[in-house]
Amino acid sequence: MYVARHMQHPTEQYPKQLQQSLSSPAALSKSPAATKSSEKPERKMANRDTEQKRRDMFKASIEDLRLEVTMQLKFQNKQAGNLTTLPHPQTYTKAEVLREAVDCLKWLQDRYTEVLQQKHELQLKTSCGLSIAKIQEPPDADASEPEKNGTTLTMPI
């Protein structure tokens, strides 16, 4: 009897609270198999958050592009003397925004080419003017004697 009374069933070795905590769903979620399955939703949530951030950044860049195109169109209209108002940027589709952006870039490229051409022409005029001015400078005192003889040639402008 003594042996039987002190020998306990293996499940009776642990206090009842510990047995209940081991069989509870919270304890089961701490098992290695359960942690792997619980990580998947966390990863999914992280992926969703990352994807949402990407979408938000894309929307913000599209909105920035719309505003930039609107400002560029207003600038072009102002340059052309046309002071009409443009529709609100939200009324543009992505394709329209991209078309307008391409048109603006073409216009800017044309304007840049035009400015470069004007700069080049100005440099040519300046360099030609300097060389013509050098040719028409009054001769030195030593060279004035041949001029008296009629041997010096000057180039008219």
Of residues 79 and 2, more confidence is placed in: 79
Could you tell me if 154 and 136 are in contact, meaning their C-beta atoms sit under 8 angstroms apart? yes
pLDDT band at 1 (very low <50, low <70, confident <90, very high): very low
How many whole angstroms separate alpha carbon 56 and alpha carbon 133? 63
| Residue 119 in tokens | 């700069």
pLDDT band at 117 (very low <50, low <70, confident <90, very high): very high
How many whole angstroms separate alpha carbon 139 and alpha carbon 146? 10
**Mean pLDDT, range 18-33, rounded to an integer:** 53
How many whole angstroms separate alpha carbon 106 and alpha carbon 100? 10
pTM given for the model: 0.28
Task: For residue 139, give Cα distances in angstroms to 115, 127, 146, 152.
Answer: 38, 21, 10, 9
How many whole angstroms separate alpha carbon 89 and alpha carbon 71? 10
Rg of the chain on CA atoms, in Å: 43
